[in-house]
């Protein structure tokens, strides 16, 4: 890096408990036990007000987690491959994944990671405490998002969505990919109890967070806390696309 070339400035916005826009330029590396030859940063976390933890990871040559990530009886995890070729082992099951590949590990199942190539692999990783439902249990799920068909989002032909996990009550969260063609937008500004952690995969847009319109682009991370106003307009020439988590299928607790 070295000496700065201009006045220091940042597009990041941090509103604890409400929302955060975290741009890649401000990230620093965090050492997380179990990860070797990896550069990683913690994004959303309980310190920001999120009930989950998100990480962005670059796995270098030989990058791995062979101790196993999570695996506690009440913690679930999810990984999405942004680039490269990675072996993900969920308990006894092995998956070789490339860009858009993902794995969900239910509570009690450790996730092992290994970069299979000499070049870097990039990952978006998530964990949260699972909210159990009596008689129900989620299971290991894997796939490649680019093999899942989009469907129209809210009856609009220029907004597209896909679900990465089963829409099943055994699961207390899901990951989705939402994509806006240039000039498309949400149908309304949402205000809902669920939280999101979103990683922007492509494009540019104006994002409404707490009723402020904020420019965002590929590589940005957004945390949206409960009830925070949220909506997007896509601008530019490429679709504005992001992968994001959303809690679901559970009542609010008193
Ligand atoms: O699923 C959602 O709540 C999604 N439409 N929210 C968002 O894109 N900010
Ligand atoms: Mn939402």
Residue of 184, 196, 239, 242 to mutate, ligand 1, most atoms within 8 A of C-beta:
196
The CA–CA distances, whole Å, from 189 to 65, 77, 167, 197, 210 equal: 40, 29, 24, 17, 10
Tens-digit pLDDT profile for residues 19-29: 999 999 999 99
Tens-digit pLDDT profile for residues 38-87: 999 999 999 999 999 999 999 999 999 999 999 999 999 999 999 999 99
Which residues sit opposite 55 in a β-bridge? Answer: 42, 125
Q: Does domain 148-247 have CATH number 3.40.47.10?
A: no
Identical fold between 29-145 and 148-247: yes
Rounded Cα–Cα distance for residues 201 and 190 (Å) = 21
Structure tokens at 50: 């999120």
C-alpha 10 – ligand 2 centre gap (Å): 25
Q: What does the domain layout of the chain look like in residue ranges?
A: 29-145, 148-247
Mean pLDDT of the region 154-177: 98
The CA–CA distances, whole Å, from 208 to 84, 112, 116, 250 equal: 32, 37, 39, 26
Tens-digit pLDDT profile for residues 104-135: 999 999 999 999 999 999 999 999 999 999 99
At residue 141 the predicted structure's pLDDT band, cuts being 50, 70 and 90, is very high
Residues 6+ apart with CB under 8 A from 125: 54, 55, 56, 57, 69, 77, 78, 79, 80
The CA–CA distances, whole Å, from 187 to 79, 159, 230, 232 equal: 29, 9, 11, 9
Can you tell me which atom of ligand 1 is nearest the CA of 194? 3
Rounded Cα–Cα distance for residues 13 and 222 (Å) = 9
At residue 180 the predicted structure's pLDDT band, cuts being 50, 70 and 90, is very high
C-alpha 67 – ligand 2 centre gap (Å): 34
Can you tell me which atom of ligand 1 is nearest the CA of 231? 9
Please give the model's pTM, rounded to 2 decimal places.
Answer: 0.98
C-alpha 136 – ligand 2 centre gap (Å): 25
Residue closest by Cα to atom 8 of ligand 1: 231
CATH architecture for residues 29-145: Sandwich (2.60)
C-alpha 190 – ligand 2 centre gap (Å): 6
Q: Of the ligands numbered here, which is closest to the C-alpha atom of 230?
A: 1
Is pLDDT at 1 greater than 90 in this prediction?
Answer: no
């Amino acid at each position: 890096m070295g000496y700065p070339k201009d006045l220091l400035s940042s597009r990041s916005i941090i509103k604890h408990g409400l929302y955060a826009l975290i741009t890649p330029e401000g990230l620093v590396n965090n050492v997380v036990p179990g990860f070797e030859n990896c550069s990683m940063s913690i994004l959303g976390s309980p310190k920001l007000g999120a009930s989950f933890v998100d990480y962005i990871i670059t796995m270098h040559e030989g990058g791995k987690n062979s101790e196993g990530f999570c695996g506690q009886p009440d913690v679930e995890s999810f990984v999405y491959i942004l680039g490269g070729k990675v072996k993900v082992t969920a308990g006894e099951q092995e998956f070789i994944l490339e860009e858009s590949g993902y794995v969900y590990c239910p509570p009690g199942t450790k996730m092992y990671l290994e970069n299979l190539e000499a070049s870097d692999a990039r990952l978006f990783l998530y964990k949260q405490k699972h909210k159990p439902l009596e008689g129900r249990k989620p299971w290991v799920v894997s796939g490649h998002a680019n093999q899942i068909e989009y469907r129209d989002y809210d009856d609009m032909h220029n907004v597209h969505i896909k679900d990465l996990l089963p829409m099943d009550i055994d699961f207390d969260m899901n990951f989705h990919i939402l994509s806006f063609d240039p000039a498309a937008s949400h149908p309304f500004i949402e205000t809902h109890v669920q939280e999101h952690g979103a990683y922007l995969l492509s494009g540019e847009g104006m994002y409404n967070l707490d009723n402020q319109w904020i420019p965002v682009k590929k590589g940005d991370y957004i945390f949206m806390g409960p009830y925070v106003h949220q909506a997007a307009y896509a601008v530019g020439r490429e679709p504005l696309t992001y992968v994001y988590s959303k809690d679901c299928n559970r009542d609010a607790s008193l």
